[in-house]
Structure formats: structure tokens, C-alpha cells
Structure 1
Amino acid sequence: MNTFSNLFLIFILLSQATSSLSKCHPEDKKILLQIKKELNNPTFLSSWEPHTDCCNFKWFGVSCSSLTNDRVTDLSISNVTLTSQFPPSIGNISYLRSLFIYHLPNLTGTIPESITKLTRLVYLTISETGVTGPIPKFTAQSKSLVNLDLSHNNLFGGLPPLLYKLPSLSGILFNNNKLTGSIPRSYGYFNNSGVAALDLSYNNLSGKLPISLANLDIYLVELAYNKLEGDASMLFGSNKKTLVIDISGNNFEFDFGKIELSKTITTLDVSHNKIYGNFPMGMENVTFLNVSYNRLCGEIPKVGYFNTFDGSSFIHNKCLCGSPLPSCK
């Protein structure tokens, strides 16, 4: 499970500290019972009974907070046996701050647009499910949203272009879906919202990267295994705070030797592209490297952690040489 999604668990623990005296709000109870019905009354929700209090940890996966007048603030359903469509009534729990739907492969249907009405949401995880359809169109009203994890589903369609307007957004995890189209120009303007991680890997995204992505200064950029092409050098920069860049499995084509690496980068995977040139300066801090299946030439550097990389990090290039490959003539 993704590190950013784990922030949700910390959030739950903090919120639970204020819920010991809560009593379920009638409107929230009504909505939860409707959700139970929409999920086909699964056995793991047997604790959701009309005559019991949905707060005080008596209902599976439900937490409330006295800070919000005893409203339901957290809902977590994961790793249980469930065959159902995604329950549309979730979008009606108006005080919800965290929603965690994880590892429910038989949860199908689409994510309802009504989920964007949950303007108090801080953490949203819908991951490892069978849901399909487009990504909901979040707007600037979702001003509290910090982590948006919709990874490992069957979502299709394009990337929502207005995410940059979400002022608190830190993690965007759309990897392992069936998303298509190009990366919007607006994705170069996340800096104002403090985005730290952007993972769009393992989709069917295509086209060239917008030049605006040069503005990105985030910790993690993952675009691996799409159908992207052209120049990706704008993702790099010596003054950036980047830790991880993975652009492997695309059709990128640019001069590797001319990029400038951040002083903080530790993980770099550019394998399976059409990248040419030699190695850039500033490789000393890279602890994981894969440049295989490209068109690189020249001698492999003897700096930093390079003596720990085996031949698989460098194979199938045009004319790389030096340890761990055959020596240069």
C-alpha cells in the first residue's frame, strides 16, 4: 500500500481521540444504512444496525468526531469479501474527512461525481478495486483534499485538468489504470498547491510532455510504462528537490548528458526508451539506477554507488562500456 495512503491511518487515530463521547447523527445513520443496502448487505457490516449507535467504534469502519457535532468523519472498508457496485450514497456523508476503500476487487461500477461534494475530505483512497469509468472532476471546492489515491483500478478517460486548483493537494496517485490522452499543461502548475508526489505510471497516456512540467518541483515523479514520447528533460533540474524519477517504458528521446540532476535524487529509472548521449554530472547520490535499453554511449562513471550496480542497469545500449560492462577500448 502506498506511503501517502498510510497517512490516512494516522489521521484516523487522531480523529478517534475525539470520538469517545460521540453519538451518531440521525442523518449520517440514515445514509450509512443506505450504503449498506447499496453494498448488498454484506455480512461484515452486520454491526450496522438501526437500533445501535454508529459512533463509539460500534459500527465496522466508522468513526465520528465530537468536534463536528458528532458527525461521521471517517469511513474505512478494506480487505473484505464484497461483490457490489460502488455505493453512490457515499457522496452524501457531508462531514466525511477520510474515505478509505482498499483491496476490494469485486467492487465495480463507477465512482459517482457526487463524491466531489465531500468538500471536507482530506484523504481519499479508492485503490485495488474493480471500479471503472472516468476520474471524478474535482474542483477548487475540494480545498481540504491532501491525498488523492485512485490507483490500481480500471479507470479510463483523460486526466482531470483542474486538479492544480486544489490548494492543499500533496499526493496524486492514478497509477495502474487505463487512462488515455496526454498530460494536461495545467499539471505544470501544481507547485502552488504543494504537491509532493505525482504517479501516473502504468496507464495508456500518450503524446509529448508539456513544457510547463519544467515548473514541477516535487519529490516523486512516476510516468513509467505509458506511451509518452519526445523530450522529458524538463523534469530534471539541479535546484529541484526531486528524490525519485521513473520514466521507464516510454518512447522518450533526449540527450541524457545535458540534463541537470537534483542534489537530492536517489532513484532514477529511464530504462526502455530512446535516450541518447552520455551520463550527466551529479550522479553521486543515486542509489538505484536503470538506464538499460536506450541509446547511451561512453564510459560508465566510477562515482557514488556505481560500483554496486550490476550489468542489468546498463545493458542494451548503443555503446556503453566500463565496469560492470566490458572495458572501453
Structure 2
Amino acid sequence: MQPLHSPYKRQSKKLPIPVLGLGLVMLLNFASPTSSCTEQERSSLLKFLSELSQDGGLAVSWQDATDCCKWDGISCSQDRTVTDVSLASRSLQGHISPSLGNLTGLLRLNLSHNLLSGALPQELVSSSSIITIDVSFNRLKGDLNELPSSTPTRPLQVLNISSNRFTGEFPSSTWVAMKNLVALNASNNSFTGHIPTNFCANSPYFAVLELSYNQFSGSIPTGLGSCSMLRVFKAVHNNLNGNLPDELFNATSLECLSFSNNDLEGRFDGTPVVKLSNLVVLDLGGNSFNGTIPDSIGQLSRLQELHLDHNKMYGELPSTLGSCKYLTTIDLKGNNFSGNLEKVNFSTLPNLKTLDIYMNNFSGTIPESIYSCSNLTALRLSENNFHGQLSSGIGNLKYLSFLSLAGNSFTNITKALQILKGSRNLTTLLIGRNFMKEVIPQDENIDGFENLQILTIENCSLSGNIPLWLSKLPNLRLLDLSGNQLAGPIPGWINSLNHLFYLDISSNSLTGESPITLMEMPMVTAMHNETYLDPWFFELPVYSDPSLQYRVLTALPTGLNLSKNNFIGVIPPQIGAIPGELNSLNFLSAFDVSNNDLEGPIPTGPQFSTFPSSSFAGNPKVCSPMLLHRCNSAQASPTSISTNQYVNKAVFAIAFGVFF
């Protein structure tokens, strides 16, 4: 497994739910428990009910003989007109009946978070009364039909069709009739084509446009610059290309501008971004922007999140960045920024929670002003050119949970660990490829780290034994000490790490016999490790290689790697002959016991038939119908395991890749 610190393509961590847009148009609901709906409305609702294959218990409440204004999820006005159908999260299945369009006084329709399928009836979008439609988080599919250009003005203000399965070209003429539209959320679908240009020309109140996670292409329409009320424009994860048009920056009410993971380009310092003085979130990560961060960035006084990661930007960070005093997130990873961070006075950023500058060319030492950011929870400085010793000032970061310093030139690992043990909230510590050729501290006084779950100190050429203080980390889940020069035996206390499910101590100089206690660890004996029930999230994604991202601890594979050491003796029988019971592990997707000295037949069955013969290569005493060495009758059942008296550099490696 590669070091867990190298992010690749940034993934958005926000669900595209238009909270702001819905909040803009929340209206008072004047319901009267004494009102009674009309016969037409009752029959329209019952028609809707009849087309549901699963009604979530509505049939119990929706009785034909009762007043439908008293039905579950239904509200009426004082003149006996149905105004609200609110049936979110009811496990409804089936189609949405067009009969709901016959509710002539309906104002708000909320069918979100159900299992509804089929099309969205055009009768709802073209309704002469509905002002809010929310059908998000369903299984609706098909095209979103265009309304005829002759359609009179419709009252619709909020349309949320996000997280469905809609496809096809996104409508353009439909919005001509939507002169009251305030918020549109079509994210998490498969719409194609260009983004329409006429939203604001038709609706002067248009404020929220959310088109993320679709397949939109082409350039960003210049017409959106005329949206004087536009506050949120998000089109994350699409196929947009070209430059940011200058006209876009005329939409000076913008608070959130998010175009990450597209194919946009151009010089960032050539854009008039300073005109967006109300900007709170600026997210342009995962594109091909170049240039520097201009000094004018400091004029964005309301800015809270700055994401410019995975672009082609360069130069030093401007000192004016410290003027953005409300910043909570600075994400610049995966660029070519350079220089000394001392130029930025981080003490003027008291709200900063995440600083991620992974994979750049920054140099010098860590500025002391960073330790003034008392709310910092995630700090990633890995893959740069920092040097020096860790300052005791990091102890001021009482909320620090995620720290990655890997791939720099830091020194004095003993001092670093003595300082970091006081970080009581630290759960992830990645410090590999530093402290080259030092001695790993054996000091039993390194206590603390009681909440640490991930620890990697790989590829440092550290000498010494596996230290006792590791046994005092009660919540440790993943430990990587590979690529060092650790000597001595595997300590007997290893089985006290009850929560450990990944251990890599390969490529060291460990000696002695493999202890039986290693085979008593829960990660080896348990069929289902309790870690896989833990919903714990990383503060920042960690990566085992450029193509594998882990945001959730439960996604990491179970692994035990002891290869490339100097062990002697007999392989413990608990893992000796290949047991047939492994066939019952239907979640096992990778299995490799090659280049050992195993013997006996390879189990047959549906699971093992999926593994290539290379998984068993280098074991001359194993046999199988799939191998050249076939089993005879005397080998029909698994036998004992033997090893050479001394196996140089490798005895065994077990790797279980558990993926769902």
C-alpha cells in the first residue's frame, strides 16, 4: 500500500441541496383545520394515490369519505382549496400522476426523498398556480420537456429536480415563461448540451442556479452576467471549457461561484474577480487555470472558502490573503506555488479550519503564525520543501484532527512526537518520508495520542525496534512502518491493538519467528472486522495512489504485510495451509500468497476460481487443477506447512482487498 497522503482529483464534499434557494421563497401557510376540499381535488388526489405502487401508509389516512384537507400531508386555505402536498421521505414508489396538475390552487409540492420513477409530468411545471416543486432524490428519468414558446407566464419560483436520472438536452425555451423563477436545482442528473443563456433575461429575480454533476458542455454563457440578483452559480463536475467570461463578473451579487472539475482555463490573475465583493465561496479547483493569486484577492473581504486546487498556478502567496479574515478553507493543493509561507500573516485568519497546500513547491519553515489559527482542524503541508523541526506552537491547535507533513525534510522525530502527543483530538497523523536515518524513539513516556486512528511513518530509514509506546494507542486502526530499518522481533504485545485492521511493517530488518500472538489479532481472526461498522470520516480525503481516494475509514482494505524482512522458523499453522473455508468469504476480491513455501491443494469453488494462477506462484508444493502441478489422491486434503530454516528477505505476505 502506498503512503496515505497523496490526493489526486478533488471531490466535492457538499451535497448540492438548494437550501438557500428554498429559503428565498418560503411562504406562510394559512391552513384551516375546519376547511373542506372540493370533489375535484379529492378525486385528483385519489388518482395520484392509485398510481403509487407503495403509498407509505397514505391509504389509511386518505379515505374517500373524509375531508381531504385533513388527510396526511395535505393543507388547505380558508376557501377550501388544497395549497400544499407535502409527502417528503415517505418511501413512496410508483409514478407521479399528472392529476396533481388539476389542483388549481396548489402552491407547493414536495415529493422529495422517495423512490418515485417515470417522468415529471409537464402539467406540474406548466401549472398556473404552483410556485414550488421539489422532487429531488427520487428515480425520475427521461427528458425534461420544453414548454411551447407561446406558454403564458407561469408562477413557478423554485424547481428542485436534483438527484434523479433525467437525461437529454437541457431545456432552453421553457424558461421564457418562468418570469418569476428564483431558484433552479438540476444537479446530480445526466443532462447534456449547453447551459441556457436566458435565465435572467426572463426572470429578474433569478438567484440560484445549481447544475453540478451533469454532462453540460461548451462555455459559460455570458448572459448570466446580467443576473443582478444571482447569488449562487454552481456547475461542478461537468465538461465546461474555455475561459471565465468577463461579463460573468458583472453579476456582483454572487456569493457562491463554483466550477470545480471542468476543463476551464485561462489566467486567474487576469480575471476581474475583485468585482465580486460579496463572494463567500470561490471554487475553481480541478481545471487548467494558470497565473498567480493577485494582490487584489484581499479585497474579497467576505470570502470564506478559497479552492484553487489541481490547476497550473504558480508564484508566491500574496500577503493580502491575510486580509480575508473570514476564511475557513484554503485549498491550493496540486499546483506549482512556491516561496515562503512567512509572507502571509495567518494570525489574522482566526476562523481558518482547513489549510491544504499539498504537492506544491513551498519552502522554508512552518510559519509560527499558523499556530495562531486556534480553530484549525485539518493541516496538510505534505509534498513540499519544508525543513526544520516541529515547533511546540502546534500545541495551540486544540482542535487539530488531521495532520499530514509527509514528503518534506523535517528533522528530530523524537521532538515531533513529544510535541504532537499533546494534540488530544488528533485522529490522523501522516509523517512519512521525513526524519531520514534517525532513530525511532523508544521513550515509554510518549503517551497521549488516545484518539489516534491512522499513523504512517513510512520510508524514513528509521532504525531501532518497534517501540513500546505504540501499544498505548488504544484506537489505532491503521499503522504503516514500512520502508525503514527497524530490527528485532515483532513484539508480543501486537495483539493488544484490538482495533487495528491494517498493518504494514514490510521492507524492514525485522528478525525472529513470527509470534503466535500476531495470529490472535482481531484483524486476522474476525470474519467481519468491527471497523467496518464505524462511520468515521477523514477530515480530508487520503489516497493510497492517484486513482484511489478514501474519504471514509470503512473503505480502507484490511491488510497484513510482513514481506521483505529476515524472519525465520515455521509459518504459524493458523495461516499455513490454504483453508477451504476461504471460499465462504464472498467479499474477498484479492488474494495473493505467492512466493512462499506453502503446500497442499488449493481450495476449489466459486470464489477461488476467480483468482489468477499468479496468486499462488512461487509455492512449488501447492497443487491444483488450474496449475501444472496437479493433486494426486494423497494430496486430496490440506496437509502441513513447512518453511526453509531461514528465508532471506521474505517469508510471507497476506493481503486481503475487501471492497464492496
* TM-score, with structure 1 as normaliser: 0.88
Does 2:185 match 1:173? yes
| SS at 2:136 equivalent | strand
Does 2:113 match 1:94? no
| SS at 2:83 equivalent | strand
Aligned to 1:33: 46
Aligned to 2:204: 193
Task: Give deviations 1:68-92, integer Å, cap 9, x for gaps.
Answer: x311111011111222122232222
Distance 1:154 1:109 in 2: 9
Q: CA deviation at 1:291?
A: 0.3
Aligned to 1:273: 287
Distance 1:5 1:51, change over 3 A: farther
Contact 1:263 1:282 survives alignment (8 Å): no
Q: CA deviation at 1:21?
A: 3.2
Distance 1:102 1:5 in 2: 15
| SS at 2:246 equivalent | helix
Contact 1:209 1:232 survives alignment (8 Å): yes
Distance 1:141 1:125, change over 3 A: farther
Query: What pairs up with 1:76-91 in 2 under 5 angstroms?
Result: 76-91=86-101
Does 2:84 match 1:74? yes
Contact 2:36 2:80 survives alignment (8 Å): yes
* TM-score, with structure 2 as normaliser: 0.45
Aligned to 1:23: 36
Letter in 2 for 1:266: V
Q: Residue 254 of structure 2: which of 239, 242, 263 is its match?
A: 242
Distance 1:107 1:239 in 2: 37
Letter in 2 for 1:85: H
Distance 1:9 1:278, change over 3 A: closer
| SS at 1:254 equivalent | strand
| SS at 1:252 equivalent | strand
| SS at 1:103 equivalent | coil
Task: Give deviations 1:266-322, integer Å, cap 9, x for gaps.
Answer: 110100001111123234422111101111121112322489677x71121244544
Distance 1:61 1:8 in 2: 22
| SS at 2:249 equivalent | coil
| SS at 2:53 equivalent | coil
Does 2:316 match 1:296? no
- More displaced 10-residue stretch of structure 1: 264-273 or 254-263: 254-263
Contact 1:116 1:137 survives alignment (8 Å): no
Distance 1:254 1:62, change over 3 A: same
Contact 2:31 2:75 survives alignment (8 Å): no
Q: CA deviation at 1:213?
A: 2.8
Aligned to 1:316: 334
Q: CA deviation at 1:124?
A: 1.0
Q: Residue 63 of structure 1: which of 63, 68, 75 is its match?
A: 75
| SS at 1:275 equivalent | strand
Distance 1:28 1:309 in 2: 50
Aligned to 1:135: 144
Task: Give deviations 1:251-271, integer Å, cap 9, x for gaps.
Answer: 001211021221111110100
Query: What pairs up with 1:180-259 in 2 under 5 angstroms?
Result: 180-187=192-199, 189=201, 192-217=203-228, 218-234=230-246, 236-237=248-249, 240-259=252-271
Distance 2:25 2:217 in 1: 35
Q: Percent identity, please.
A: 25
Instruction: Report the number of matched residues.
Output: 319
Distance 1:297 1:306 in 2: 23
Q: Which sections of structure 2, spanning at least 5 residues, go unmatched?
A: 1-16, 342-356, 365-384, 386-660
Q: CA deviation at 1:175?
A: 0.8
Contact 1:134 1:158 survives alignment (8 Å): yes
Distance 1:277 1:54 in 2: 62
Distance 1:267 1:117, change over 3 A: closer
Q: Which sections of structure 1, spanning at least 5 residues, go unmatched?
A: none
- More displaced 10-residue stretch of structure 1: 175-184 or 277-286: 277-286
| SS at 1:141 equivalent | coil
Contact 1:171 1:196 survives alignment (8 Å): yes
Does 2:171 match 1:157? no
Root mean square deviation, CA, Å: 2.6
Q: CA deviation at 1:186?
A: 2.2
Greater RCO (CA < 8 Å, at least 6 residues apart): 1
Contact 1:94 1:117 survives alignment (8 Å): no
- More displaced 10-residue stretch of structure 1: 38-47 or 145-154: 38-47
